[in-house]
Amino acid sequence: MVTGSDALDRIVKRLAETTDPRRRYEYVLWLAKKLEPLPEEFRQDVFKVRGCVSQVHVVGQLHDGRLHWQGDSDAQITKGLLALLIEGLEGLTPEAVVGLDPAFIAATGLQASLTPSRANGFLNILRMMQSQAAALQAPA
């Protein structure tokens, strides 16, 4: 699978090659632990992901035409899924994030291990990131 992001491609490949669902979860939890703490000023409603059972905040900021992401969640698995997207989409242009096909989520194999609400939350986090990226795109 080629997403347009080398980092995301590496993550998807790693997860796709892992046949044990427990190992996939361990990787997602490891990503959660690596996520930098979210500054308090970003814990606002405007950055909150709708449609997630857990509290999830994600913030995209544009620096020199590239997106830089921060976020947090109060649930470790959701935080790991957020961290996966943050790592995978870090440094991309807004156009690349907006154009990202969510099909890569299925390629990770995570859906089989996630509850329907978590799988839906994962997609909602991606959609929120794409929405922020669209708002930061240069006017056409």
Dist CA 31 CA 34 (whole Å) = 5
Check pLDDT > 80 for residue 139: no
- The per-residue pLDDT for range 36-77, each reduced to its tens digit, is 999 999 999 999 999 888 999 999 999 999 999 999 999 999
- The residues that are catalytic are 52
CATH architecture, domain defined by 6-136: Alpha-Beta Complex (3.90)
Contact of 14 with 27, CB cutoff 8 Å: yes
Per this entry, what is the length of the chain?
Answer: 140
Q: Where are the domains of the chain?
A: 6-136
Dist CA 43 CA 124 (whole Å) = 17
3-state secondary structure of 43: coil
- The per-residue pLDDT for range 11-40, each reduced to its tens digit, is 999 999 998 989 999 999 999 999 999 999
Average pLDDT over residues 86-103: 96
Residue with tokens 């996966």: 84
pTM score: 0.94
* Closest C-alpha among 130, 122, 129 to residue 52: 122
